[in-house]
């Protein structure tokens, strides 16, 4: 594992370690998860004014994860009947820090009650620290389920997402079964930071003690489909014995798929997705992708809506600090009936 990743990793509680350290949070998480899975309870309290929410999301990418999260968040709040106004700011995954800071400044100027954003780099952490010192708005960190240790007891309002390490462990188990724990593989990271660490470096760590697993090459792709394609073409030109490509995101998986199609090697090299959004499931159904770990996507948006609802009702003590949604591993042999069942639940709001 790269030295920078080891250093960064020490700044987080893993999701499971956090729950082990704080057993009461385990109970809160379980009861909250039940609330997320169930139908919305109608809002019955009087409200003086709509709740103001600002959301910053890197949704300009092929993966529909972020767009679906926003849709499910909006639709769950509407189903609850809690009046709200949402201002949303979009970006690319590799947007510069300066652009991100400009969006954040604009969001803060509107004085929202809740600010929803993600955290993927050390620079993001600095921004979070600055917001936390203000005391307002309440911060929801999306797509991260590992609390920041340095914040101590003064944590954000809510961490929400799908635990990257748990998803990677499930994916690794499935890949081990497919490969018999024997593989020469190419690692395709996204951007340098938390997600690449938790999905990519975690896979390296989990397979490091398996002598038959050898990483032959690794690239950072900036979550670019074209960069991922070029990385695969370049690697296979010099290392033709690669038989597994580990992709850390949807866009990367589709770029690798493009390269394998071009080289007519789809039947010879195992390729995974990560997340199980519409693009990945289509690729899986068409035989271009071998497997993926599928997030029950709308859990994320529903959880944010339910956390705000409880807070507005004066019941913040029922909200866990961290919520992680459910996963399912699917592959090219998963039946159409089972896949439809999973999709019906995962996209129960965002399919509208």
pLDDT in tens, 37-94: 999 999 999 988 999 999 998 878 778 889 999 999 999 999 999 999 999 988 887 6
Q: What is the pLDDT of residue 140?
A: 96
Is residue 121 over pLDDT 90? no
Q: How far apart are CA 343 and CA 297, in angstroms?
A: 9
Q: What radius of gyration do the chain's Cα atoms show?
A: 20
- Which range, of 40-49, 125-134, 290-299, averages the lowest pLDDT? 125-134
pLDDT in tens, 204-257: 999 999 999 999 999 999 999 999 999 999 999 999 999 999 999 999 999 999
Q: Which letter, b or e, does each residue of 317-339 get, where b requires 16 or more Cβ atoms within 10 Å of its Cβ? A: eebbbbbbbbbbbbbeebeeeeb
pLDDT in tens, 20-31: 999 999 999 999
pLDDT in tens, 146-159: 898 888 888 999 99
Q: How far apart are CA 49 and CA 82, in angstroms?
A: 10
Q: How far apart are CA 184 and CA 167, in angstroms?
A: 22
Q: What is the pLDDT of residue 2?
A: 38
Q: Which two tokens stand for residue 194?
A: 């938390």
Single pTM value for the model: 0.88
Match domain 15-162+297-325 to its CATH number in 3.40.50.150, 3.30.70.260, 1.10.10.10, 3.40.50.2300.
Answer: 3.40.50.2300
Neighbours of 262 (CB within 10 A): 12
* Closest by Cα among 109, 165, 159 to 136: 109
Q: How far apart are CA 313 and CA 277, in angstroms?
A: 33
Is residue 106 over pLDDT 90? no
Domain ranges of the chain: 15-162+297-325, 165-295
pLDDT in tens, 310-328: 999 999 999 999 999 999 9
Fold equal for 15-162+297-325 and 165-295: yes
Q: How far apart are CA 107 and CA 95, in angstroms?
A: 17
Which of the four pLDDT bands, split at 50, 70 and 90, describes residue 3? very low
Q: Which fold has domain 165-295?
A: Rossmann fold (3.40.50)
Asked if the bond preceding 35 is cis, omega within 30° of 0, the reply is no
């Amino acid at each position: 594992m790269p030295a920078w990743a080891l250093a960064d990793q020490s700044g987080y509680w893993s999701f499971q370690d956090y729950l082990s350290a704080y057993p009461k949070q385990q109970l809160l998480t379980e009861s909250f998860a039940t609330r997320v899975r169930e139908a919305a309870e109608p809002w019955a309290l009087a409200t003086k004014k709509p709740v103001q929410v600002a959301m910053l999301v890197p949704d300009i990418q092929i993966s529909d994860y972020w767009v679906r999260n926003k849709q499910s968040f909006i639709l769950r709040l509407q189903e609850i009947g809690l009046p709200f106004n949402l201002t949303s700011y979009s970006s690319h995954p590799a947007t510069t820090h300066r652009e991100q800071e400009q969006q954040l400044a604009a969001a803060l100027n509107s004085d929202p009650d809740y600010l929803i954003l993600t955290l993927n780099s050390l620079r993001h952490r600095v921004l979070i620290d600055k917001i936390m010192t203000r005391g307002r708005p309440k911060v929801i960190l999306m797509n991260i389920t590992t609390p920041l240790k340095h914040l101590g007891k003064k944590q954000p309002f809510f961490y929400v997402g799908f635990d990257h390490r748990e998803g990677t462990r499930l994916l690794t188990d499935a890949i081990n079964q497919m490969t018999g724990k024997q593989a020469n593989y190419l690692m395709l990271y996204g951007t340098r930071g938390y997600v690449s660490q938790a999905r990519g470096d975690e896979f390296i760590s989990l397979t490091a003690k398996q002598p038959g697993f050898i990483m032959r090459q690794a690239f950072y792709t900036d979550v670019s489909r074209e960069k991922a394609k070029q990385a695969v073409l370049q690697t296979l030109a010099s290392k033709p014995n690669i038989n597994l490509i580990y992709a850390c995101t949807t866009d990367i998986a589709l770029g690798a798929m493009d390269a394998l199609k071009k080289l007519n090697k789809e039947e010879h090299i195992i390729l995974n997705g990560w997340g199980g959004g519409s693009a990945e499931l289509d690729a899986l159904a068409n035989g271009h992708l071998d497997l993926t770990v599928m997030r029950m996507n709308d859990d994320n948006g529903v959880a944010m809506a339910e956390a705000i609802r409880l807070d507005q009702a004066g019941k913040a003590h029922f909200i866990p600090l961290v919520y992680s949604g459910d996963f399912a591993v699917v592959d090219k042999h998963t039946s159409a009936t089972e896949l439809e069942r999973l999709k019906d639940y995962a996209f129960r709001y965002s399919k509208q």
